[in-house]
Structure 1
Amino acid sequence: MLALRSVLALALVASSYAGILLPRANTNAAISPIVDQVDMTMRHVGPDILTITANQTLSTATLTPQFNRMNTSFTAMRTGLAGVAVSSGSTTTHPTNDDLSKVVGDAVVLVATSLSGVKATGKVPNFAALVSSLDPTIAGALKQFNTTSPNGLALVHIIMIDARQFLVAEGFTQTNAALGF
């Protein structure tokens, strides 16, 4: 008799909570322009950094504005994604989960590769300070992406397997941790 009452009480509680649960919607279409913007920014900033380095004009004065642009872009990504409902995602409807992850992965690869070797040049004495400002910003944007697009960083992790060495060398510890390394 006690077991029956326990089962009935549990069923009553479960049915009251079941009515509260709402299915998630596919919000990938709202996520896409946000991640596209950070990728577009990195498609400009990355080559700018490489040009500065190749032209032998690398310095705190020339690199700081590029870091500011990256900080602004990744902050906007985090903030924008925080305003989007968690996506149920899709593997068939464009933009798919993989489409979004590839764009984010591309942006992070551009950060890693464009900054590779800057520290070793010694031409930017405050490089560690610049990285310590950008690193938590990128990590926060990546974590928010993984929240808004659940498990979205799984493919980004795979994309970054080779390029993460540059993040390690330049001191992006929080970004590496956010990517699961």
Structure 2
Amino acid sequence: MHLPSLLVLAASLVFPLATGQSTNTNAQIKAAVNTVDETMHHVGPTVLTIMANQTLSDRTLSAQFDTLNRVWTNFDHTITSIRPSSGSTTVHPTNDECSTVLGESVVLVATSLSGIKASGKVPSFPNLVATLDPIIANGLTHFNTTLRNGLNLTAIIMIDARQFLVAEGFTATNHALGF
């Protein structure tokens, strides 16, 4: 073995493959996605109940947005701390499972908040959205990095529901989804 080959061998031992090239971190990704999804399954129906009870106001909605801001911020921080996944289409959780659950979470954001802007009952709604929108967009962008191209399926799931994001002012989230 001559010196250049020996150096390449030594370098490969000292500097292993780049982060994420051989590690399936889907279980960690799915745990982060599940946290958002579980919260959305509580907040979404709560917002719809507030609207149905005709108690929609800055006060009642702000409390729900506080929860949304917290869970999506935590998601963004968590997803950026996970090594990029080599992923899997056969080992659970699969790439599609992670993307589908995240898509469901974003659908719940879109559909739960649909119509609030037009109702005029929450004057601070544009400000609430202006705070939450970039938080969700960052989380989605970082998810797409951690689970390479994971947003492809999420965007397909959002094709119909994205109209609600547009109507309510979630432009950064739409952009992160590729719309």
User: TM-score, structure 2 length as denominator?
Assistant: 0.91
* Residue of structure 1 equivalent to 2:84: 86
Q: Give the residue type in structure 2 aligned to 1:164.
A: R
Aligned residue identity for 2:155: H
Bigger Rg, which one: 1
What residue in structure 1 maps to residue 120 of structure 2?
122
Residues 20-39 of structure 1 mapped to structure 2, 5 A cutoff: 20-22=15-17, 23-39=21-37
Match of 2:74 in 1: 76
Counting aligned pairs with the same residue, the percent is 59
Name the structure 2 match of 1:112: 110
Match of 1:98 in 2: 96
Give 1:47's aligned amino acid. Answer: P
Is the contact made by 1:39 and 1:107 (CA closer than 8 Å) also made in structure 2?
yes
User: Counterparts of 2:57 and 2:80 in 1: how far apart (Å)?
Assistant: 34
Q: Describe the SS at the equivalent of 2:48.
A: helix
1:83 Cα deviation after fit: 1.1
Structure 1: runs of 5+ lacking an equivalent: 1-10
Q: Aligned letter for 1:152?
A: G
d(CA) in 2 for partners of 1:18, 1:112: 49
| 1:6 equivalent in structure 2 | none
| Deviation readout 1:119-154 (Å, 9 max, x if unpaired) | 000000011000000000000110111111110000
- Tell me the TM-score normalized by structure 1: 0.90
CA contact (8 A) 1:87 1:150 kept: yes
Deviation at 1:18, TM superposition (A): 7.4
Number of positions where the alignment pairs a residue of Structure 1 with one of Structure 2: 170
Q: Shift of the alpha carbon at 1:24?
A: 2.5
**Unaligned 5+ runs, structure 2:** none
Residue aligned with 1:91, SS: coil
Please report how far the alpha carbon of residue 25 of structure 1 lies from its aligned counterpart in structure 2 after TM superposition.
0.4
Task: State the alpha-carbon separation in 2 of the partners of residues 133 and 81 from structure 1.
Answer: 19
CA distance in structure 2 between the partners assigned to 1:24 and 1:104 by the alignment: 23
Write out aligned runs for 1:1-181 (5 A). 15=8, 19=12, 20-22=15-17, 23-181=21-179
Q: Distance in 2 between matches of 1:124 and 1:101?
A: 32
Q: CA RMSD in A?
A: 1.7
